[in-house]
Chains A and B, each alone.
Chain A
Amino acid sequence: MTIQPRLTKVFRFVRAHYADGVAELAYAFDDGAELVERIRFPQAPALPRERQAAFDAALKLLHLVAGVSYYKAGVPPRIEVADGPFDDATAELLDQLYLHGLAEFAYRNGLDLRGRISFPRSTTPPSPRRGEGRGEGMDLPQAPALNLPKRTLVPIGGGKDSLVAVEAIKSIGGEATAVWVGNSALIAACAERTGLPTLNIQRELAPGLFELNRLGAWNGHIPVTAVNSAILAVTAILYGYDSITFANERSASAATLEYEGQQVNHQWSKSLAFETLLGDWLHTHVASDLDYCSLLRPYSELAITRAFAKLTPYFDVFSSCNRNFKLLGPKPVDRWCGQCPKCHFVFLALAPFLPKPRLLAIFGRNLLDDDSQAAGFDALLEYQDHKPFECVGEGAEARAAMYALSQRPEWQEDALVERFRSEILPQLDAAQLELEPWLQPSPEHRVPVRLQGALAAIG
């Protein structure tokens, strides 16, 4: 009998297993066939004995987090875990991740996940791994410190943010490895350009997932940064790194829209809320000296684009475009689709900080002189539309950038800048449109002391 994904009753976390550099994560719906995802860690070293317990904890988390890709195919009413139930902190992390991380998916599919997602909790918490406390409060028992080597995993995404993070760490002489998950020629090219050692982890989705899709599974956005974070937590323990520094910026915490009383944030797994949940969980359940943070958390998109505008050597390799370019070519159109919100936003946010011909050479065209792109830019400005479901900056930030351009003679006659001046600007309060406030960092971040010097390099 073929399975009807949308009519399934139970989603089961079957098992997680690691051997010889390959993690196998198994899931199933009802009594259906196992869905087995494989994650390959290249040239994985032998695991030191003292890290075994931490590794097991991280692998278990990875199993639970990566399950989100499969769970969403059916969204059945019940979740079963072979080795559950969990302590409160773990169950809370997962409940939050599945609820908020799938909020956009639910919104787009007209589903309501509230009350549906509940990971089993034990009434008496199993004792977490005890270690020396770090004085963060009575309620947070620490996992032991593992004396992990003082070096950093920097995930590379091919876009500007991770490259700014890389250069910031390089500026303080920090030891770091550029790491990425999956096949991407673009990311590989960017990683190589950083000059750092590289590590490419392979993720193979269970083939059964494609089959489920063909059978009419639910489909949509998943919190992929959470999955990558969990993969990197395993990586850090396996290869020996004391920190994982993402490049998630301030605006990642802002909701895209509110829907029936629920905040829907496309970037939830890049938000400070998730960073805090996962960072604390790693300290309490894996290793007290494994730090998980975002180096760009204090900064707005505009502060980051300003920093990136100085990194000329990356201009001909990077791309933030969300079209999946699996094949690379030498031309700008081979990296920038020019149609998606990411292209729109990065173009707009870089424009105040680069000579116009240089910016246009990066993109190969002028997106702001193209009438047909008006709706796309309107959405960024939150003018007559909500912010797009993409990792882009805040509306007010986009308005500040557009306002800056509208004051510059070399930009102000371009179709969409001119439209902004004549149509949108009169409805705005110019006092709210200054660029300068966006360039000030906020104090809120979780960057460990060892790496805080890098923040200065960003500005």
Chain B
Amino acid sequence: MKFGGTSVATLPRWQNIRELVASRRAEGARVLVVVSALTGITDALKQLCGEGEPDKRKAAAGAIAQRHYDLLDHMQLALPDTLGSRLSDLAGLAANGPAPRGELAWQAQVQAHGELMSSALGAAFLSHSGLSTQWLDARECLAAVALPNQNERTRLLSAMVEAKPDPALNARLAVLGEVFITQGFIAREQHGRTVLLGRGGSDTSAAYFGALLKAARVEIWTDVAGMFTANPRQVPGARLLQRLDYEEAQEIASTGAKVLHPRCLSPLRDPRVPLLVKDTNRPELDGTVIGPEVRAYAPSVKAISARKGITLVSMESVGMWQQVGFLADVFAQFKQHGLSVDLIGSAETNVTVSLDPTENLLDSDAIAALASDLAKVCRVKVIAPCAAITLVGRGMRSLLHTLSGVLAEFGQLRVHLITQSSNNLNLTFVVDEEVVDQLLPHLHDLLIAAGALRTDESALFGPSWQALYGGGEVPDVAPAWWRGPQRQRLLKLAAEATPRYVYHLPTVRRQARELKSLAAVDRLHYAVKANTHPAILTALAAEGFAFECVSPGELEAVAAIVPEPVPLLFTPNFAPRRDYVYALATRATVTLDALHPLERWGELFRGREIVLRVDLGRGLGHHEKVRTGGSGSKFGLPLDQLPTFLQLADAHGVTVRGLHAHLGSGVLDAGHWGEVYAQLASLAERIGSVAFLNIGGGLGVPSHPGEARLDMAELDRVLREVKAAYPHYQLWMEPGRYLVADAGVLLARATQQKGKGAFRYLGIDTGMNSLIRPALYDAWHEIINLSRLDEPATALYQVVGPICESGDVLGTDRRLPEAQEDDVILIAQAGAYGKVMSSHYNLRDEADEIIIE
């Protein structure tokens, strides 16, 4: 069991250690505790080493001793002899300085005292509290090996140990006792000198001991429950990784995860000792188990990481083609300029390498000098700032087919380098750094949605970081309405007829009220294209919503239902002239998003107030087809045409009263609307006549189990913040799917099954003719066998419809109970873009629509 610096710095933490050790003893295990120095002590010792004057060194040693006296005081322990002798050794080392031993050996000796002291103190505390504990000198167990590429510094300050199982050590300890405590970070080399193990040294010590003793397991106790599928700071929805093999874990650790040092895994691999990461403060959490490869699970991406501040050097020359030694010469230049190469990608005439951010790179002329030297033998290009995004998972090449959505995302970006090593554990993309913060959470979602990161495999993936640590309380997601008392009613409705859509109005109202809680929003419009059922329009009008329409047909449908004073917004795209003529005769506020209407039909708009929809230049959303920003999308006026648009407006006496932008659908990051809002506001400041800003909709509705919901409180905070900065603009929004998706389900009945190779198909009586989203957007809808809601999900189905299209698949790889003909199958979240997008294709009957209160 290894405990780090903060875990050994206070009495309560030591009491915690005592309990954990005692619980392992209770399980019958013999325990070796490996400790770091008290937090801050290693730094203090390093500082002491840098001090030239003996008096200052002595004072520093005194301050360090005092820390330990203070802790002893809290523990109400007398100074144990073991610790006393360490303290006097340290005082002596400080007084004498490096001279007798040589600078580096002295430094190692001094710094080793952090762990020597903390372990002596720990032994006293544990024994005194009734847990008889033997103090063990790590240097008598861990022998550093000399390696050919080491210099004196690395030999002494970042040494390596070859740790093979040593039954003699086991035997020696067996006679000494049941509980031991020893030091992390230190070892001894062949000449008997004390050496250090370098950064992450205590984890590595624990691993060495685990290997030497061929332990049942190594436990690393730290401040987080383990490794996650992504850095939780970047992706709050990152999931706890409950099982990893050594190679995967090492790859994740070396591409960004800070929880484990990458070096601490390799000693455990051969002796097959598992390593467990646990949270000291939350010992009840499962943590991450790292062990030998497990073949019982389907291949899955395990984690996605990003490293920023990367600089690429691209070298291009036909001279390298089939030339002996070209690369050796080139790499010699990197060595000469003190730059360490990380990733490498090569073609016949190009080699591109990546450099990690170091002080040498940022603040010296190293890169200029390197480029000058390289330019003598090839064309060189320095590309920065970049970020390396790495997907980690065993068998990465067999997962490539699932990554199409992810690859499409990279297709929108400048990808400078892709690497995939022969160990088949990773796939790395080097992209522009600026895109990473937004990209990472998005890719994480995409990996889950694409089934590449198999979060449905509950043995591998634990709860999300957000659920474990996020903001104290996780709002309890109410179970979907159809799971409760409404289930019987739905079964009855399905018995009457299928396919049919059922809409639950209380859910529409609940969502509406949630949006109304956004205090900064002055006007909410329902984007009626999501669902135009009259009962839904009536319900939302009663909730005080305005309405957003995109065609004369929608305007007509809304006008027939909602009362006169309710404001309407007309936001068409590539609409013909006659549509504008129609809309201008209604009370709707008209939105333009191109020059053409003003250029060619300017007189139509004379004297009118309009809204201008701009394209802020980048798109967001869960699928390429729902993205509505960026040059690849047909929506919005590009910003470089704004001055022309304003001149045309002026020429025709048209007042731009509002600005609008909408970047896409299914966005779950609250910060996004704040950014759109702030960008629109800064544009509006240049226009003068603008009175309101319409930041669109696109509020995401999570579809997968465990996926984080859009944080309304955070959205509220973000919008208030921008509003405070730009108080003179009204804020409008136009959500659609958010209001109605969860309220609707599509009911169908099972018709038959078919086995084909490893696949099992479950046929139902409707498909893409009723619900086209899975085929159109790869949308994921939860599918439930409502007739067998409580039966175990033992079958793995491809759920398909009766349409003569191979794309008529509603859900792939779904775990469901064994189905029978006529079972009622429920497709969830079908309230938005379901019925409105349905068709008569194959001349199949349309689903009807039922409203329930």
Contact = CB atoms under 8 A, between A and B. Distances in A.
B759 interface: no
Q: How large is the interface on A (under 10, 10 to 19, 20 to 34, 35 or more residues)?
A: 20 to 34
Contacts of A210: 728
B383 interface: yes
Given A210-B728, A413-B381, A414-B381, A358 B362 contact: yes
A409 interface: yes
Interface stretch (B370-378, B388-396, B760-768): B370-378
A33 to B, nearest CB: 18
Contacts of B681: 326
Interface stretch (A121-129, A213-221, A248-256): A213-221
Contacts of B357: 357, 361
Interface in B315-373: 357, 361-368, 370-372
B691 interface: yes
A216 B650 CA distance: 9
A411 interface: yes
B579 interface: no
Contacts of A117: none
The SS class assigned to the A binding surface is loop
A355 B385 contact: no
Contacts of A360: 311, 384-385
B434 A333 contact: yes
A365 B685 CA distance: 27
A355 B728 CA distance: 43
A357 B357 CA distance: 9
B794 interface: no
Given A360-B385, A408-B368, A327 B722 contact: yes
Most buried by B among A183, A217, A358, A414: A358
B160 interface: no
A410 interface: yes
A21 to B, nearest CB: 23
A214 B728 CA distance: 11
B728 A356 contact: no
Contacts of B101: none
Contacts, number: 100
Interface residues of B, number: 45
A355 B339 CA distance: 14
B371 A323 contact: no
A324 B685 contact: yes
B725 A365 contact: no
Contacts of A358: 362-363
B678 interface: yes
Interface in A344-378: 355-358, 360-361, 364-366, 369
Given A214-B691, A366-B385, A355 B685 contact: no
Given A355-B363, A366-B384, A361 B372 contact: no
A116 interface: no
A216 B687 CA distance: 10
A18 B437 CA distance: 49
A159 interface: no
A327 B678 contact: yes
A341 interface: no
B681 to A, nearest CB: 8
B726 A364 contact: no
A386 interface: no
Contacts of A74: none
A331 interface: yes
Contact of A357 (B361, B379, B434, B686): B361
A309 to B, nearest CB: 11
Contacts of A327: 674, 678, 721-722, 725
B448 interface: no
Contact of A356 (B379, B384, B682, B689): B384
Given A365-B432, A365-B434, A410-B368, A355 B382 contact: no
B682 A355 contact: no
A210 B722 CA distance: 19
A411 B434 contact: no
B98 interface: no
Nearest to A205: B728
B84 interface: no
A408 B380 CA distance: 11
A197 to B, nearest CB: 26
A158 interface: no
B340 to A, nearest CB: 14
Contacts of A331: 437
Interface in A214-248: 214, 216-217, 219
A86 B372 CA distance: 64
A355 B367 contact: yes
B372 A409 contact: yes
B434 A361 contact: no
Interface string B430-460: 0011100100000000000000000000000
A410 B382 contact: yes
A56 to B, nearest CB: 33
B728 A364 contact: no
- The 10 tightest CB contacts between A and B, nearest first, are A413-B381, A213-B688, A410-B371, A409-B371, A409-B375, A326-B725, A219-B688, A410-B382, A360-B384, A360-B385
Given A214-B688, A356-B367, A413-B380, 9 more contacts: A210-B728, A213-B688, A214-B689, A327-B678, A327-B721, A356-B368, A364-B385, A365-B432, A366-B383
26 contacts: A183-B725, A214-B657, A214-B688, A214-B689, A216-B689, A219-B688, A324-B685, A326-B725, A327-B722, A332-B434, A355-B366, A355-B368, A357-B311, A357-B382, A357-B385, A361-B309, A364-B433, A365-B385, A408-B372, A409-B372, A410-B368, A410-B382, A413-B379, A413-B381, A414-B381, A414-B382
Interface of B: 309, 311, 314, 357, 361-368, 370-372, 374-375, 379-385, 432-434, 437, 655, 657, 674, 678, 681-682, 685-689, 691, 721-722, 725-726, 728
